[in-house]
Structure 1
Amino acid sequence: MKKVLTIAGSDSCGGAGIQADLKAMSALGVYGMSVITAVTAQNTQGVFGVQEISKEIIQKQIEVIFEDIEVDAVKVGMLSSSEITEAIGEMFKKYNVKNIVIDPVMVSKSKYKLLKDEAIEALKKFISLGTLVTPNIPEAEILADMKIENEDEMIEAAKKIQRLGAKNILVKGGHREDNCTDILLLEDGRVVKFPGVRIDTINTHGTGCTLSSSIASLIAKGNSIEEAVRLGKEYITEAIRNSFPIGHGVGPVGHFVDLYKKAGMKYE
């Protein structure tokens, strides 16, 4: 079995962060492991508090995994601070980590800042370690320092982010009103477009986390970047289609669609 590590924050309501990552990894048939960078107090209505984990404990979590287990791919999510970002970068270089998918998490759906402003420059440097970086449009605008309003500008932003050192860039188009096509800029300069499907639901908590961790899982299983993105998009689309309401806000996507159906779960 392939082993995939998620390095991200914990979501107390289970829809995003490491909880979403581990669900997606399990659904796609890999063994998921986790390094927690921060503990968030959140529910379907928003994020209400964040407690960072010390860089020493973050590094120790990474160390004990890589000293013991062969890691086939890594997904990186919430980093919170420049200190944490730099500490993880040091460990990646120490262990020559491969197949790194970076989801540059900056702001939650409820507009809570998950990355401090002072950490943006550190994140830009950290991106150089990435095999694939998966920003949504607001994140790509910050990383590329430009406004994005159409597909041509998504491609331009991807090229700017690639110049930061990352090999492949996936700019997700879900924030656009007229079109939700995702743009993949590959290491060889090719541009691949993945048309999206708008699904009428508010229950989209953890979509970015789920997509990036599913892509990391598919890369670990031997798929090319392009194929991993294609299959990952198919998985997240089905998960959104089978999302469900819990609480009073934005509910989670259906990570275990087939298992839920077998267990007799009703989507209501």
Structure 2
Amino acid sequence: MQQAQQLGPETVSPDRAGEQAAERAAGSVARAVPRVLSIAGTDPTGGAGIQADLKSIAAHGGYGMAVVTALVAQNTCGVRSVHTPPADFLREQLQAVSDDVVIDAVKIGMLGDAVVVQVVKEWLEQVRPPVVVLDPVMVATSNDRLLRPEAEDALRGLLPLVHLVTPNLPELAVLLDAPVAADWAQALAQGRELSRRYGLKVLVKGGHLQGADSPDALVDAAAGPGQDLLELFSHRVDTANTHGTGCSLSAAMATVQARTLDWPESLRRVKHWLTGALERSDELEVGRGHGPIHHFHHLQPASGQAFSSRLWGLTAGVREAIMALPFIQELSAGTLDEDDFGYYLAQDARYLNGYSRVLARASALAPTEAEQLFWAKGAHQCLEVEAELHRSWLSGRGVSGEFGPVTKQYVDHLQAIAGGGSYGELVAAVIPCYWLYAHVGEQLSAQHSGGPADGHPYGAWLRTYADEAFAEASRQAVAIMDAAAAAESEAGRLRMRTAFEQSCRYELDFFDAPRVYARSRVQGG
């Protein structure tokens, strides 16, 4: 049997040492192929630990390296045993890598005890990588604590050397020595406190919460107002294949950040990738327990599913939330406060004015004459047909026509894409206004078989959006989006998906804005 050899450190030439120092000093330079080091434990089945990290790094265009902190006998059903190599060997692994390779980003995962944490801390203080992401493996799925108290304290001491920490909610609570957050608002508050206390960015993850949405947020207490929080929402994927999700997310964040130098943009890219990796995890058929995610789903097109079908599935939670809003329910019943409906129509009139300009831009970018005519007709409809309904109802009622905050944000979002996005991205951004309104009209029409009763105060509005011509226009718009997606690269389709999901969230907020307005009116009155 060949025995392990204990070797002395390789000598680095003075010239090479100078090159490394210069490259580290230029650590703020984005890298097309970042050199990313994973410091973590192993998983023989490949779904978690350094095996998952290396997949995530490769999936995002990085060159992956790995230093082993623990050898773990585990599979998709659970952990059987853990062997921790001597701390001196960990130190030698770390030194061997950094003596030879300039490291653009580091992802840190499982650190089994206080001694291991101290070795990693000393190495970080020496090397100072430009991107350091810590996934604090502290709490098992069973909610059992994985680290002794002294190791937890040592891990907190590592935080000042970290740029981003990615705890789940139980781990976030342990880091703060606080109860586990019961809802998203408490989770965000804990994220802000951890960010403030240790001077780092915190990725707050809502995977442990209940509900149709799966929120994530990037929190930076040191940033200025309006820049300290980025919230992203996606639908919650119904799958048991979640093994290694935290490992994969943090390794992906380290890699993408080294490429973009933009934490919010990195989170946007990684969140969409991770959602897709969960959605298509069943294709792998690995293990009998909690299987792994599909790290390379974006390189293997899903069979037989249209782009629009995938997006429609992603927004099931948003559609359910819209139909459950008091505004929609009261509108259907005819009990909606007239002032609230007036506010809604006034904001919709403002929105349609901006939306018509965005549709005109889509017409200008369209690759075919048929699509040019379709978008031009849509722009005309906004100004001449639908807006007339608004003017007729609002006439003489004295409703304020100023931009509400949600309306302005939504229009700004569309106009930003119209000014700098691709045709496909712009189409994806404008589709929710068609598609979700048609869906709401269809659902409300089903509640009023044969149309709203005579005397229904909002019958004209209900009939407008349940109109078959509008539904057909929505179907045409969706078909155009599918054609645009087919012409895009994978990166382009990812941008289309981002634009679509953001617009869907704005649609939900737009329908809910009258309730917010009513509350402020009561408080102000």
Matched, 1:54 2:54: no
The whole-number CA distance in structure 2 between the counterparts of 1:96 and 1:136 is 25
Picking from 193, 203, 216, the partner of 1:170 is 203
Picking from 71, 81, 86, the partner of 2:118 is 86
Change (3 A) 1:196 1:20: same
Secondary structure of the structure 2 residue equivalent to 1:200: coil
Measured on the aligned residues, the alpha-carbon RMSD in Å equals 1.7
Picking from 39, 62, 66, the partner of 1:30 is 62
Shift of 1:111: 5.4
Indicate conservation of the 8 Å contact 2:273/2:298, yes or no: no
Matched, 1:238 2:276: yes
Secondary structure of the structure 2 residue equivalent to 1:14: coil
Amino acid at match of 1:74: V
Picking from 198, 216, 232, the partner of 1:182 is 216
In structure 1, runs of 5+ residues without a counterpart are: 263-268
Change (3 A) 1:111 1:154: closer
Change (3 A) 1:144 1:97: same
Shift of 1:194: 1.2
Picking from 170, 194, 201, the partner of 2:232 is 194
Identity over aligned residues, as a percent?
39
The whole-number CA distance in structure 1 between the counterparts of 2:86 and 2:199 is 26
Picking from 235, 238, 247, the partner of 1:209 is 247
Deviation digits for residues 215-256 of structure 1 (CA, Å, limit 9, x no counterpart): 000011133111111111111111111113322111110011
Q: 2:391 maps to what in 1?
A: none
Aligned residues: 262
Secondary structure of the structure 2 residue equivalent to 1:250: coil
In structure 2, runs of 5+ residues without a counterpart are: 1-32, 303-525
Secondary structure of the structure 1 residue equivalent to 2:214: coil
Indicate conservation of the 8 Å contact 1:140/1:157, yes or no: yes
Matched, 1:225 2:263: yes
Change (3 A) 1:38 1:203: same
Secondary structure of the structure 2 residue equivalent to 1:181: strand
The whole-number CA distance in structure 1 between the counterparts of 2:188 and 2:133 is 19
Shift of 1:86: 1.0
Q: In terms of mean alpha carbon deviation, does 53-62 or 168-177 score higher?
A: 53-62
The whole-number CA distance in structure 2 between the counterparts of 1:260 and 1:108 is 32
Q: In terms of mean alpha carbon deviation, does 229-238 or 145-154 score higher?
A: 145-154
The whole-number CA distance in structure 2 between the counterparts of 1:249 and 1:150 is 28
The whole-number CA distance in structure 1 between the counterparts of 2:192 and 2:84 is 32
Picking from 271, 279, 296, the partner of 1:256 is 296
Q: 1:11 maps to what in 2?
A: 43
The whole-number CA distance in structure 1 between the counterparts of 2:49 and 2:163 is 20
Q: 2:435 maps to what in 1?
A: none
The whole-number CA distance in structure 1 between the counterparts of 2:144 and 2:296 is 27
Indicate conservation of the 8 Å contact 2:143/2:170, yes or no: no
What aligned pairs does 1:37-76 form with structure 2 within 5 A after superposition? Answer: 37-76=69-108
Amino acid at match of 2:250: S
Secondary structure of the structure 2 residue equivalent to 1:146: coil
Shift of 1:150: 1.8
Q: In terms of mean alpha carbon deviation, does 136-145 or 13-22 score higher?
A: 136-145
Amino acid at match of 1:247: G
Larger Rg, first or second structure (1 or 2): 2
Q: 1:120 maps to what in 2?
A: 152
The structure whose residues are more often helix, as a share, is: 2
Change (3 A) 1:137 1:111: closer
Q: In terms of mean alpha carbon deviation, does 8-17 or 182-191 score higher?
A: 182-191
Deviation digits for residues 42-93 of structure 1 (CA, Å, limit 9, x no counterpart): 0110011111122111111111111111110000000010110011000110
Q: What is the TM-score when the length of structure 1 is the normalising length?
A: 0.92
The whole-number CA distance in structure 1 between the counterparts of 2:124 and 2:264 is 24
Q: 1:140 maps to what in 2?
A: 172
Amino acid at match of 2:215: T
Q: RCO higher in 1 or 2 (8 Å CA, sep ≥ 6)?
A: 1
Change (3 A) 1:259 1:180: closer
Matched, 1:153 2:193: no
Amino acid at match of 1:165: Y
Indicate conservation of the 8 Å contact 2:139/2:170, yes or no: no
